[in-house]
Amino acid sequence: MKINLLFLLFGMSFAARADLIVNVATPKTVGQKAIVKLDLKNTFPEKIESARVSVFLLDEKGKMIGQSTKWVIGGTKNQASLAAGATNSFFFVITSEKPFATTNLATKVNFNRVVLEGGKLANPEKDVQIKDASK
């Protein structure tokens, strides 16, 4: 009986994990622009005040052909935070000097900073789940 209770409590600790869950859509190209949609879901018990992300655009050989870094949550007085349990979408626009030579593009998404309510820092490597729609 004690062992079952121990396993139950251990399993609940994993189920209660809070994260920022990010679904990354396949990039869409229009002329000299690539648009990457990020769908964000806050599963933390507190709001996310700000999050900063770098998106790298890669060609079919894995070579970086463009990049952009932006605040996707907060970051400025005009941008809202993301409440606990809320979702939001953010569109990255990455421009190029020439039209993209291929439409077979991939992305690499890297969260640089995630700030929770009260200024508490989350660990982007552990507290952000990135799900790539193209895989």
Q: Which two tokens stand for residue 122?
A: 């989350």
pTM of the predicted model as reported, rounded to 2 decimal places? 0.82
**What is the Cα–Cα distance from 69 to 52, expressed in whole angstroms?**
7
Which region among 1-10, 21-30, 68-77, 94-103 has the lowest average model confidence (pLDDT)? 1-10
Which domains, and CATH codes, for the chain? 18-132 (2.60.40.10)
What pLDDT score does 56 carry? 96
Strand ranges for the chain from DSSP E? 20-24, 28-30, 33-42, 48-58, 64-73, 87-95, 106-116, 121-122, 128-132
Does residue 62 surpass a pLDDT of 70?
yes
pLDDT digit string (tens) for 2-50? 554 444 444 444 445 789 999 999 999 988 899 999 999 999 999 999 9
What pLDDT score does 13 carry? 44
pLDDT digit string (tens) for 104-127? 899 999 999 999 999 999 999 999
